[in-house]
Chain A
Amino acid sequence: MDSLFGIPLTSILVVLLALVAGIFGVLGWIAWRNPLLVKMGLRNLTRRKTQTALIVIGLMLSTLIISAAFATGDTVGYSVTNAAYNDYGEADVIGAFDREKADPSRDGLLQQDIDAVRAAFEGDPEVDAITGVIRTPAPALNPTERLSEPAASFVGIDPETTDGFHQLIDQNGDLVSARDLGPDEVYISQRLADDIRLGVGDTVRVQYGNQPYDFTVRAIVRDNALTAATALTSDQAAGGIVAPIERVREIAGEPGRVDLLVMSAKGGVRDSLDATKVVRDRLEEVIDAQGLPIQVISDKAQVVEIAELIGSVFVTFFLVFGLFSMAAGVMLIFLTFVMLAAERRSEMGMARAVGMKRLHLTESFIAEGMGYNLGSALIGALLGVGVAYLLILVLGNVFGDFGLSITFNANPVGFAISYLLGVVITFVTVAISSWRSANLNIVRAIRDIPEPDTFRGHDRSLGRLFKATAGVLWLALIGALSVVTYGVLTVIYLLLKRAPKVGRFVRKPGDWAGRQRNSGGWAVVMILIGVLATWWGGWIDEQAFAYTAGTTLVLFAIAMLASYFGAPTRATFAIMSTVIIWYWLLPMPFNLLASLGVLPEEAKGWGDPLDGLLSLVGLDHEPISGNIEMFFVSGVCITAASTVFVIFNADRVLASLGALQAVFRGITPAIRTAISYPLASKFRTGMALAMFTLVMFSLIVMATLNHNFTQLFLGDDAKGGFDVQASANVNNPIGDLRTALTDGGYDVDANISGIGTMTSTFWETKAASDPEDALAFYRFAGLDDSFIDLAKFPLSTRAVGYDSDEAVWDAVRNDPNVIVANESILSFTQSQNFGAGGEDQLTVDGSITDLQDNPWQPIEMTVVDDNGNERTMQIVGFVDSAIISGVVPQWIALFVNAGVVADVQDANQDFFVVTKDESDQAVSDVAAAIESTLLDRGVQADSLTQRVNDAAAQSNAFSTLFVSFMSLGLIVGIAALGVISFRTVAERRQQIGMLRAIGYSRRLVAISFFLESSFIAITGIGMGLILGGALSYNLMTSPDFTNGQQIDFSYPVGTILLIVGIAYAASAVMTLIPARSASRVAVAEALRYSA
């Protein structure tokens, strides 16, 4: 993997190295100026070893997640690249027949085309070898064991020109040559040998044109582009039978036939990428110059690039899904340092009293923080590689189903980036929290008196608010100008050199966030930023994340401002947080009210009240779009709002728990203290709650969405009403399956209630409305009447004039100009899918929801058939997306009347069977019976039920993988609880002593501490459940999100219970330890203890 988010990894590395150098510069400067401060900070590391261990765990998690993401992505990229090298070997450029450039009388490549290319490249130093290959599907049988592989490739290679590729490698690793093959001898590929249990000397039967041909296996060779259809060089991956090309031509009755042009660029397997690009370009020049009917279909360099892109996509995915955990990790770092500061508040007050400046305290904290940081980032990066290894074990199984072998490979650059990024993130968080912690009042700190309400200004005048705002803006402006003018490193240098002066300067403008701690200035700045973000996201770049985050920021800032001016804090923040939650759950609140009849039915579509209001004055914005980042943005906003709500209102709710005291009289005092303490420390409780909620939210949403998407796409609907798919071999046509089976002795009437036939071919097509568009190949699937009768293909939308699905299918049955399409050809769907789109892809403008919401006329399509004849057809309906879930890949097609494609030669023929007994076993039995009855015809039959189950299992495996990765965040939440719990015990030692003195038993003390931590865990889990559940429901019932699919929404109760159970059990274990240690505090000693 060379880049991330489009930025070269080396650039990222250089920037991070510069930043870390800056950080070390800061540390060095502190150590040089005030070595005592560094000593003070570092000595704190060993004060409490358990606490230090917890802090290190907390700090390392962000790094761990980043490192795991990199190592996983590197491994996937490396494995896919490896597969590309193995599959291609020295076959660097592959060309195939191009009908567009060919004489109409031609229907394939001929040896003369290959010879022409060879002549053009004669003496070219960049080319090692050129050959022509036949690769055609033909069933292979092991007649001795009655085993068959219907999808095997019958490969013909030219003995005279193939040796230059060094691709025929036997099981001993030795090169063999096609020249050595006798008239009835073949090589078979390893995969085929494994599939039908063939060994050297055995007989393999190839069925071609409904005739059997027996060969003796001379050797077993590796699967690659010259010996089989591999996963990367073909859309099928099955083994191959390799014979001299002349023998294959003879069997096919097609002298001179060639299917593929294969070229080897100068160099070996791994060192020929640059030469490959050169050869490809030259080949294309030759093709154009000589008018050869060849098109380059793939080259190794391109596949390797795609492999690296896939690796990068994996890193991106894991990083995005890890964002929740990283955010929780950053909060944990912040919380940890805030708690450390609280612990040392009186120490710090004393230090300030004897002459230490705020900057000194900050520096001491930074030194301590970096002491934790440098070690924990390294441990985190190393553990991340370990976690990636575990992920790869799971991934290996999933990818194994796709025929890809995964080899663990962690790139040192990725590892270095993870470490450095971890150091930088932690440093920034530590610096901010240190600065905040050092901001204390000396007398209050020494006497341990709480700080005043931070939201309320001492002087609430507009003048002071203006000064504070101007101060923040002034600093931002100076900072931005400095960075732009002098660059980051120069600014860091100047800041270091002039730190005391800068410190004084920073505090002066409006005393914006200094000793007065007023929030008014911040609120105004937040409003400005929020409005800008909303404007940019809504009206400039149509980005949902900026629009929604901006409005949320404004709402929050309004509450801060109201509180600054004296509005009651509780009520203000309760209202604000309710509004934000409501805003993020839109349109669900409107839906509910509309369902209750309070609002009109159209209210169900109200999702953006701001836009609704502005539309009244004609200022509404264009539709905005969001992607995977919205998952994170929504999680953060909704979690922040709900945490604020709980923290400001929990005491009211908990007051009602007084009723419980009558029930649990024995532990009443424990309940009393367990509830009072968390609510008294709003900040730390809020942070811990937010962490837990955020992680639970992400897990619940992920699990619920996956569950519902699996239901949606991989339910019974995906089978389209059929049970078995039987595919005929193109070289051994069947005609009528019922007759073939009956002839083969199978009792059709006893087992099968219906058979539909689908004949398909690839034609060129495009939307007629866009003459500029290029024609693109797309599968046209002709359906016979029986298929239409049996199929259960619901439609998402129909054109005007078609009142029902039946009307549409009747039109297909009767009108050769009618098409039923699917949403994958729509531009909106393509824009949502990674890697989709492009010049070669069939695209029709629009989205399913547009078509559903607005009546539409039949869409005219220009179609060019295989004879070059052009015609116009009309799309009159779109099938439900469950049909194109991939369970039957051939259904990703334009459905037409069977007669439309009836005359196509070499068309693919698929039969879809409805069985009489629909049980899984019976369906599998029918599929097996069809395959064995038509063994020598190479028919491949599969149970669709089994395919649905396999696909669902794969989907679940991926989901489990991502949920497991995201659940790393749980460790953060649990570590947070641990940090708080251990800290609490140390902090309250004297109070524990007092409680024990006045009669609290050990048990009661332990229960009190346990309940206190449980309060945070249970509330966080509950909030995550409610918010995640609500948002998931909202998304899955939104037509925009499901592309118009109606969904029978449900929650994955089992998975959710498992997540909740693990989260609570782990947090309980983590809090039991400090609770137990609290209960064992020696009373007299504790009473003497000074925190």
Chain B
Amino acid sequence: MPEPIIQVSNLVKTYHTGEVEVQALRGINIDVPAGEMLAIMGPSGCGKTTFLNCVSGIDDVTSGNVVIEGTDLASLNDDRKTEYRAKRMGFIFQFYNLLPVLSAVENVELPLLVSGTAPAEARRRASAMLERVGLGAWSGHKPAQLSGGQRQRVTIARALVNDPAIIWADEPTGDLDSHTADDIMSLMQQLNRDQGQTFVIVTHDPGIAERCHRIVHMRDGLIEREEVPAGAGAAASRG
């Protein structure tokens, strides 16, 4: 079994909203090996997105440890954490979260520019990544001029352009019709297979989860159970 790229132990996250305390995560333990495509499922409010935010370092944990590629995230200050995210992680959101004022290629090259890549090189790599996700001809279009599926492809291109080790996807197909969702999932599977990147996908859609290597079911801030989908290996290799 490959070395775990993500190691989570006793992860607790508590929110304080006014006088109410909400325990969103109540002691999660999980290891994710490099190159795995992991689906996280569960009912609304079970803590899926909170888990993803805490493990990816965009939210602070209340207690417990999150170790990514051997680095304890808690040991990093905000700037180092941000830098780490820029270089080693990619994010795909349900509502795309593209900057509406930038064109597709400009959106994709942002993480490269943040990481200090020269603008010309950033543009070249962003264009290549857009070609790869099938949007070469749309690189000059702004998000409002693209369909939902196209926007999500731009988001995927943005997530992958920096060649990250881990891609976090929060309901990546939640805003898409089933046909487009299928296309997007196929694309992610292909990229996972070709580049060996680790995908952590939060989803409600069993069809999407079925196409991952492993499914983690959450309930009330805890991992309820794990399962390996029946056709996991085939699905992954089918791409």
Contacts and interface: CB of A to CB of B under 8 A. Distances in A.
Interface of A: 449-450, 658, 661-662, 665-666, 668-669, 672-673, 676-677, 679-680, 990-991, 993-1004, 1082-1085, 1087-1088
A666 B86 CA distance: 14
B116 A998 contact: no
A1084 B85 contact: no
A627 to B, nearest CB: 45
B114 A662 contact: no
A1084 B86 contact: no
A1082 B158 CA distance: 22
B101 A676 contact: yes
B99 A668 contact: no
B113 A1001 contact: no
A830 B100 CA distance: 60
A997 B91 contact: yes
Contacts of B54: 1084
Given A680-B101, A998-B158, A1083-B59, A672 B106 contact: yes
B199 interface: no
B93 A994 contact: yes
B101 A999 contact: no
B58 A672 contact: no
A663 B108 CA distance: 22
Given A668-B119, A672-B106, A1087-B53, A1000 B114 contact: yes
A994 B116 contact: no
Contacts of A993: 58, 97
A658 B93 contact: no
A1084 B53 contact: yes
B154 interface: no
B101 A673 contact: yes
A996 B58 contact: yes
Given A661-B119, A1083-B59, A669 B91 contact: no
Contacts of A662: 118-119
Nearest to A990: B97
Given A996-B82, A998-B86, A1084-B54, 10 more contacts: A658-B119, A672-B102, A672-B106, A680-B101, A997-B91, A998-B111, A999-B82, A999-B87, A1083-B53, A1088-B49
Given A679-B101, A1084-B53, A666 B116 contact: yes
Most buried by A among B56, B58, B100, B158: B58
15 contacts: A668-B113, A668-B119, A673-B102, A676-B102, A991-B97, A991-B99, A994-B97, A996-B82, A998-B86, A998-B90, A999-B114, A1000-B82, A1001-B82, A1085-B59, A1087-B58
Nearest to A1090: B95
Contacts of B102: 672-673, 676
B114 A998 contact: yes
B144 interface: yes
A666 B83 CA distance: 13
Interface in B35-60: 49-50, 53-54, 56, 58-59
Interface of B: 49-50, 53-54, 56, 58-59, 78-79, 82-83, 85-87, 90-91, 93, 95, 97, 99-102, 106, 110-111, 113-116, 118-119, 144, 158
Q: Is the interface of A mostly helix, strand, loop or mixed?
A: helix
A672 B59 contact: no
A1082 B53 CA distance: 11
A996 B53 CA distance: 12
Contacts of B85: 997-999
Q: Is the interface of B mostly helix, strand, loop or mixed?
A: helix
B93 A665 contact: no
Given A680-B101, A1001-B83, A672 B116 contact: no
A665 B53 contact: no
A1088 B49 CA distance: 9
Nearest to A994: B97
B180 to A, nearest CB: 17
Nearest to B87: A999
B114 A676 contact: no
A1002 B54 CA distance: 18
Contact of B115 (A680, A990, A999): A999
B68 to A, nearest CB: 15
B144 A669 contact: no
A1003 B116 CA distance: 15
A1036 B38 CA distance: 75
B37 to A, nearest CB: 20
Contacts, number: 91
Contacts of B91: 994, 997-998
A449 B97 contact: no
Contact of B101 (A677, A1083, A1088): A677
B113 A672 contact: yes
Given A997-B91, A998-B91, A450 B144 contact: yes
Contacts of B87: 999
A541 B57 CA distance: 73
The 6 tightest CB contacts between A and B, nearest first, are A999-B86, A1084-B59, A680-B101, A994-B97, A1084-B53, A676-B101
Given A999-B85, A1001-B82, A680 B53 contact: no
Contact of B99 (A450, A658, A676): A676
B230 to A, nearest CB: 33
A999 B119 contact: no
Contacts of A1084: 50, 53-54, 58-59
A215 B130 CA distance: 105
Nearest to A680: B101
A346 to B, nearest CB: 13
B110 A672 contact: yes
Nearest to B120: A662
A253 to B, nearest CB: 93
A425 to B, nearest CB: 33
Contacts of B114: 669, 998-1000, 1004
Contacts of A996: 58, 82
A656 B83 CA distance: 29
B101 A669 contact: no
Nearest to B96: A994
Given A998-B111, A999-B115, A1084-B58, A673 B82 contact: no
A269 B153 CA distance: 88
B101 A997 contact: no
Contacts of B93: 994, 1087
Contacts of A1002: 78-79, 82
Given A680-B100, A999-B87, A1002-B78, A665 B118 contact: yes
Contacts of B158: 998
Given A666-B116, A1004-B114, A1087 B97 contact: yes
Nearest to B13: A1084
A993 B58 CA distance: 9
Contacts of B82: 996, 999-1002
A359 to B, nearest CB: 29
Nearest to B90: A998
A602 to B, nearest CB: 50
A676 B238 CA distance: 41
A665 B58 CA distance: 25
B107 to A, nearest CB: 10
